[in-house]
Structure 1
Amino acid sequence: VHLLYRFEEQQILKFEVYDVDVNDPSLDKQDFLGYCETTLGQLVSAGKLVLPLTGMPINKGEMIVRVEELASSKDEVTLQFSGRGLDRKDWFGRWIPCLFGHSSDPFLELSKVGEDGEYRLVHRTEVIKWSLNPDWLSFTLPVRSLCGGDMERAIKISCYDWNRSGNHSLIGELFVTLRELSEAPHTSTVYHLINPDKQKKKPSYTNSGEIRLMKYELRKVYSFLDYIIGGTQLNCTIAIDFTGSNGDPTSPDSLHFISSLAPNQYEKALTAVGEIIQDYDSDKLFPVLGFGARLPPDGRVSHEFFVNMRTDTPYCSGIPGVLEAYKSCIRQIQLFGPTNFAPVINHVAKFAESYPDGSQYFILLIITDGVITDMVQTKQGKELT
């Protein structure tokens, strides 16, 4: 089954299993064995899940579900070319030929071929003025843009002489694949530019100059899925704004007003984001911090306290545990201020510094309503992370 993966959404999957005995497309005529449900996020995080089939009175076994990212090139290629002995195009129109001789202003265009056989421009190099032996700067392109990820797909390299009018003159062109470029011994590899019009008109015509490959580097670009499937763990810390600008929590107008009839804005945000993030967290334990409140028993102002009101650990079990701790906390503290982000940013940054190998990825979700009052310190904290 092919699915479009969206990290920002909770994509629920339901699998139904049937025993097909009748050659009929209607599932109503087949024996239903059971079903299982999961989310695409849980599947991506685990790589493989063994899910028990439910929905029938007796145990009907398990379903094994695996996930893998479809092969699509995320690589980038760096290329550099030079030209030698290019055709002269600028015979007239220059008032300084005595200084530079008859020459050209060459540049390259790289085009990829589409499914319809038409070539579409992908990259244009800079113009090298008054030169028949140009050395162009290196450039980097996504392999997907250059050849659709197909190393065997033709790439057209066209060399033009630049003209101020915009009517550039073709010096010559060549066709090559990324595979051929990758196997070339670089500076010793020579490609001949062919001008189709000259080739038709002159039987003695050979080429319009040479293009040499000076540099070829292929670099793999890893996707988010690559890291998750490779074992990287996501760690999400939640920071909640308990400053006075949210309004008196006993008032229905407050963003922190707790009601049994409907969740407030903070509860909605915690649920919406938390349900997505928790699929990638193996232990489902979330550190939850608060800032901008007066704490019991002495009323001291804190910009980094544990919302579960414990002193030994900030962790809450799952999103239900986060919501429970939040509701309990709002009844014990006094909203105050100011809105300082730096303490909670630095708190998470210290943990992130302990894992320079990339095995752990730290996310800080700050839910706030106000304007930051420690912008300078916050920027410094962001740079640290």
Structure 2
Amino acid sequence: MVIFTDSIKVFLSVLVKAQILFRVPFFVFSCRGIPGKKCGTVIVTAEELGCCRDSVLMQFCANKLDKKDFFGKSDPFLVFHRSNEDGSFTICHKTEVVKNTLNPVWQAFKISVRALCNGDFDRTIKVEVYDWDRDGSHDFIGEFTTSYRELSRGQSQFNVYEVINPKKKGKKKKYVNSGTVTLLSFLIETEVSFLDYIKGGYWLSFNVNLILASTGNPSQPTSLHYMNPYQLNAYGMALRAVGEIIQDYDSDKMFPALGFGARLPPDGRVSHEFALNGNPQNPYCHGIDGVMEAYYRSLKSVQLYGPTNFAPVINHVARYAASVKDGSQYFVLLIITDGVISDMAQTKESIVNASKLPMSIIIVGVGPAEFDAMEELDGDVVRISSRGRFAERDIVQFVPFRDYIDRSGNHVLSMARLAKDVLAEIPEQFLSYMRVRGIKPSPAPPPYTPPIHVLQTQI
């Protein structure tokens, strides 16, 4: 018997998610109980369940519901409950309230099959009908039960439901019902996933950018760019950790790597978007090792210099993204920063403009500074805006690297957490662009079949 600790359970769940993202067929773990003795292996596989990727678009109306308001009619709404294996029910959807009517028509709504019945087409779905009250004490009108299989018949005599109030039914002998609810439409839609695009040959193009300004002399231990001969500096640690995560997304492993905030040789001109490898015509580095090498080499040749401007590099990547709007390439800009920013207004405008393009931005914060400005750019709480224009979609993900340094020395677990959070929003940001533009995934190529060699013999 193999017993997993809570930490290992978390690790396994992260790896299963990463397996889907990175297209890895399986993971193999060696299990050790007694020191020095191998206790076997555990193979974890993952797949995407096709039936649970479906969503349904439904619309309902009601007729002759009970009147609950003294001075008017009812303000009805529906509450859908998914039944659980233990017999309990969980709310999975609420419709909007239709004011002052006993014959409401609710707006069509979309819900995933997983949320509605967990993929079990015969599982009971309970629907309650309420009369909305301002103080929250909504009046119960009645309820009925159905199932996904029944609903899938669409508009028919089978999907006209009597709304029953059990209390009224028990007290009033002549009680028939509290109205009826009718299914008007039922449409099944299969949601495409991030994995569908990856299988169809779509890949992400990563651009790596490092802030070199405002962090002191690299020869001094107080600098985040300190060139310690014995260990990686703060930027190197973040670049190595995040780079090893994201490079599995990139098909050719060639990363354009830019720095910003430095005086360049030979004339000392200030640049906020220069090639780390010193070749502006070909800023590509091979793999994260190539980026690391270019970064450390640049520290020896350039002079760190402020201010710290984000907008130039965002606009740099946006120019490439603007030329590929068909979704065949999706650009991800990785910015590693100490949190200082000198052009906040211009950066906001750049992000708002870039939100219409096939690109996302990952910001990794290094060092001990407060990252309030980076949290604002993330836009999870308040959608980022500039000059009265809001970003079309959320394209920024911020993670503070210091939160993922495990003081107990469990490097594997901390990097698994970092991988999960760095990549958390990329699939949905990618999908949001594809959905708005109506770009469907290409069909996956057929699996490779090795040629059959026929052995011919002479008799």
Which runs of structure 2 are paired with 1:142-161 in the superposition (5 Å)? 142-161=112-131
Counterparts in 2 of 1:161 and 1:366: CA distance versus 1, 3 Å? closer
Q: Is the 2:51–2:113 contact (alpha carbons within 8 Å) kept by the matching residues of 1?
A: no
The Cα of 1:164 is off from its aligned counterpart by 6.9
How many residues get paired?
A: 331
Q: Is the 2:19–2:46 contact (alpha carbons within 8 Å) kept by the matching residues of 1?
A: no
2:62 corresponds to 1:83: yes
Corresponding residue for 2:302?
A: 333
What are the ranges of 5 or more consecutive residues in structure 1 without an aligned counterpart? 14-39, 50-64
Which runs of structure 2 are paired with 1:1-385 in the superposition (5 Å)? 45=22, 68-71=47-50, 73-89=52-68, 94=70, 96=71, 103-162=73-132, 168-185=138-155, 190-199=160-169, 206-243=176-213, 245-385=214-354
TM-score in terms of structure 1 length: 0.74
Partner SS for 2:301: coil
Distance 1:205 1:223 in 2: 49
Partner SS for 1:261: coil
Distance 2:13 2:80 in 1: 36
Distance 1:238 1:164 in 2: 52
The Cα of 1:167 is off from its aligned counterpart by 5.8
Partner SS for 2:52: coil
Distance 2:248 2:136 in 1: 55
CA RMSD for the aligned pairs?
3.4
Q: Is the 2:155–2:185 contact (alpha carbons within 8 Å) kept by the matching residues of 1?
A: no
Distance 2:216 2:173 in 1: 87
Counterparts in 2 of 1:335 and 1:129: CA distance versus 1, 3 Å? closer
Give deviations 1:76-135, integer Å, cap 9, x for gaps.
Answer: 444332211223445xxx3x4xxx5xx444332211111111223333334444422122
Which letter maps to 2:288?
A: I
Give deviations 1:38-88, integer Å, cap 9, x for gaps.
Answer: xx9688545669xxxxxxxxxxxxxxx996434572444443322112234
Partner SS for 1:73: helix
Could you tell which deviates more after superposition, 119-128 or 258-267? 119-128
Corresponding residue for 1:59?
A: none
Distance 2:60 2:241 in 1: 51
Distance 1:384 1:161 in 2: 44
Distance 1:127 1:311 in 2: 59
Q: Is the 1:193–1:208 contact (alpha carbons within 8 Å) kept by the matching residues of 2?
A: yes
Partner SS for 1:320: helix
Q: Is the 1:47–1:67 contact (alpha carbons within 8 Å) kept by the matching residues of 2?
A: no
Q: Is the 2:154–2:184 contact (alpha carbons within 8 Å) kept by the matching residues of 1?
A: no
Counterparts in 2 of 1:42 and 1:145: CA distance versus 1, 3 Å? closer
Distance 2:20 2:192 in 1: 19
Distance 2:124 2:305 in 1: 65
Counterparts in 2 of 1:242 and 1:161: CA distance versus 1, 3 Å? closer
Distance 1:114 1:249 in 2: 59
Counterparts in 2 of 1:211 and 1:380: CA distance versus 1, 3 Å? same
Which letter maps to 1:267?
A: G
The Cα of 1:185 is off from its aligned counterpart by 2.8
Corresponding residue for 1:21?
A: none
The Cα of 1:261 is off from its aligned counterpart by 0.7
Could you tell which deviates more after superposition, 71-80 or 326-335? 71-80
Counterparts in 2 of 1:230 and 1:374: CA distance versus 1, 3 Å? same
Residue identity over aligned pairs, in percent, reads: 50
Could you tell which deviates more after superposition, 344-353 or 295-304? 344-353
Which letter maps to 1:84?
A: N
Could you tell which deviates more after superposition, 288-297 or 351-360? 351-360
What are the ranges of 5 or more consecutive residues in structure 2 without an aligned counterpart? 1-7, 27-43, 355-459
Give deviations 1:195-220, integer Å, cap 9, x for gaps.
Answer: 34455566765433221223444444
Of Structure 1 and Structure 2, the greater helix share is in: 2
Partner SS for 1:362: strand
Distance 1:236 1:79 in 2: 40
Distance 2:210 2:319 in 1: 19
Partner SS for 1:183: coil
Distance 1:136 1:229 in 2: 38
The structure whose RCO (Cα within 8 Å, separation 6+) is larger is 1
Q: Is the 2:151–2:159 contact (alpha carbons within 8 Å) kept by the matching residues of 1?
A: no
Distance 2:335 2:274 in 1: 14
Distance 1:6 1:48 in 2: 17
Give deviations 1:186-244, integer Å, cap 9, x for gaps.
Answer: 7995322233445556676543322122344444444433433332212111111121x
Distance 2:336 2:350 in 1: 17
